[in-house]
């Protein structure tokens, strides 16, 4: 038998799966994770960890380009995260339905 949480997930996902990948909350979570990656890039650049890269960056540095690239990285990660969470939920939904069907056939 399925638990209450699993049955609640099935009901919730049946309504949401039609709206394929229009989950704004997952996009915002992915965007924040992408921004953390961008902050990490900025931290590595400002720390002077790799001296040769720092020298090259200081001679050809355009701050607007750097911000634009970090924004593109963040949007890309947000898109991938939204796709990933949708696929994970869809897989979980199909597994629960298969388990539910198998249990009904056994009885």
* 75 falls within a domain: yes
* CB distance 35 to 74 below 8 Å: yes
Q: What is the pLDDT of residue 65?
A: 86
Is 6 a member of any domain? no
* Number of other residues whose CB lies within 10 A of the CB of residue 94: 11
d(CA 70, CA 93): 34
Over the chain, what is the mean pLDDT? 86
Confidence grade of residue 3 (pLDDT, cut at 50, 70, 90) = confident
Q: What is the pLDDT of residue 21?
A: 64
In a domain, 31, yes or no: yes
pLDDT of residue 59: 81
Does 100 fall in a domain?
no
Mean pLDDT of 94-99: 92
Residue 96 included in any domain? no
Whole-number percent of the chain with pLDDT over 90 = 28
Convert the pLDDT of each residue in 21-52 to its tens digit. Answer: 677 888 888 889 999 998 988 888 788 777 88
Instruction: Say which residue, 59 or 21, is predicted with more confidence.
Output: 59
Position 88 scores a pLDDT of 93
Domain count across the chain: 1
CA distances to 8, 22, 47 from 85, in Å: 18, 11, 34
Residue 107 placed within a domain = no
The residue range of the domain holding 52 is 25-87
């Amino acid at each position: 038998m399925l638990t209450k949480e699993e049955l609640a997930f099935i009901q919730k996902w049946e309504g949401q799966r039609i709206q394929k990948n229009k989950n704004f909350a997952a996009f915002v979570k992915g965007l924040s994770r992408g921004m953390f990656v961008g902050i990490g890039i900025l931290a590595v650049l400002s720390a002077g960890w790799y001296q040769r890269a720092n020298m090259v960056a200081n001679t050809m540095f355009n701050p607007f380009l750097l911000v634009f690239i970090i924004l593109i990285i963040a949007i890309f990660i947000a898109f991938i995260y939204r796709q990933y969470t949708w696929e994970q939920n869809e897989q979980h939904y199909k597994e629960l339905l298969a388990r539910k069907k198998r249990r009904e056939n056994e009885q």
